[in-house]
């Protein structure tokens, strides 16, 4: 069946540069021809930041329904809706790691969330160590940053961000059979054949000697070397995640 003139015009104007928005899954699954409401923040963004209007092409996504081509059906101030046209990408199982990190100053922590989301982190778990230099986190803002990063990098899911806990509490409840790779300064890596479930990055100044000993004694913890140089914590996050991704690719190739 040939597409209608309206549908043909819509398909012609769709492009990869169209706004891509996360719309949380609701009780009703996405379906072709369905009109769904936009969260108020997304409606405001489309109308006031992107200067889009009714009929403009957009893409909407979430971890359950996948990614859909759509167009703006209604838009007024902080309210709006989109008309779904076609499913462009279906959900697939995610195989990212959990990132445990010591909270940093605001800009550095936000950078960790953004980079981690782009590198496939499924869950962020802030851990308070002896040398952690800040204990205050705006979880709502960090969740917004993770959402924006997911929209930009074209992943379908939004990573979870947990409230901070002390390193000792986290390790006390960590299962022995869930590999946790810890980036320990100037220490050799080990267990190259183990598939990582999580990565731990310490604070500026590194872990204390007592914390290093605590990590060394835990059955799930494996050392991960990031080289001979001392890295900033946010740089170590990027290096550590990239290192684990490369290990996973090598293991998959056999």
The predicted pLDDT at position 49 comes to: 87
The predicted pLDDT at position 12 comes to: 47
Which residue ranges form the domains of the chain, and what is each CATH number?
A: 5-89 (2.40.240.20), 98-253 (3.40.1280.10)
Tokens of 55: 């009929």
CB 241 within 8 A of CB 199: yes
3-state secondary structure the chain: CCCCHHHHHHHHHCCCCCCEEECCCCCCCCCCCCEEECCHHHHHHHHHHCCCCCCCEEEEEECCCEEEEEEEEEEECCEEEEEEEEEEECCCCCCCCEEEECCCCHHHHHHHHHHHHHCCCCEEEEEECCCCCCCCCCHHHHHHHHHHHHHHHCCCCCCEECCCEEHHHHHHCCCCCCCEEEECCCCCCCCCCCCCCEEEECCCCCCCHHHHHHHHHCCCEEEECCCCCCCCHHHHHHHHHHHHHHHHHHHHHC
- Tens digit of each residue's pLDDT, the chain (254 residues): 444 444 555 554 556 688 999 999 998 899 999 999 998 888 988 988 888 889 999 999 999 999 999 999 999 988 999 999 999 999 988 778 999 999 999 999 999 999 999 999 999 999 999 999 887 899 999 999 999 999 999 999 999 999 999 999 999 999 999 999 999 875 665 555 667 789 999 999 999 999 999 999 999 999 998 888 889 999 999 999 998 888 877 766 76
The predicted pLDDT at position 4 comes to: 45
The predicted pLDDT at position 16 comes to: 67
Rounded to whole angstroms, the Cα distance separating 252 from 230 reads: 30
The predicted pLDDT at position 2 comes to: 45
């Amino acid at each position: 069946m040939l597409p209608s003139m309206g549908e043909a015009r819509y398909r012609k104007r769709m492009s990869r540069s169209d706004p891509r928005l996360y719309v949380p899954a609701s009780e009703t699954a996405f379906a072709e021809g369905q009109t769904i409401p936009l969260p108020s923040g997304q409606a405001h963004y489309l109308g006031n930041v992107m200067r889009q209007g009714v009929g403009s092409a957009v893409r909407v996504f979430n971890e359950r329904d996948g990614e859909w081509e759509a167009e703006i059906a209604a838009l007024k101030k902080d309210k709006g809706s989109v008309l779904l046209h076609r499913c462009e990408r279906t959900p697939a199982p995610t195989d990212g790691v959990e990132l445990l990190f010591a909270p940093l100053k605001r800009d550095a922590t936000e950078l960790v969330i953004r980079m981690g989301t782009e590198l496939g982190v499924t869950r962020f778990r802030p851990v308070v160590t002896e040398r952690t230099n800040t204990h205050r986190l705006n979880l709502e803002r960090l969740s917004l940053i993770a959402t924006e990063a997911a929209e930009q990098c074209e992943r379908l899911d939004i990573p979870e961000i947990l409230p901070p806990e002390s390193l000792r509490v986290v390790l006390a409840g960590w299962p022995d059979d869930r590999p946790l790779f810890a980036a320990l300064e100037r220490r050799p890596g080990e267990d190259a054949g183990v598939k990582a479930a999580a990565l731990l990055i310490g604070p500026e100044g590194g872990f204390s000697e007592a914390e290093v000993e605590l990590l060394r004694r835990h059955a799930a913890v494996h050392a991960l070397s990031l080289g001979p140089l001392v890295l900033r914590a946010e740089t170590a996050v990027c290096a550590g995640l990239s290192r684990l991704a490369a290990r996973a690719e090598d293991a998959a190739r056999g």
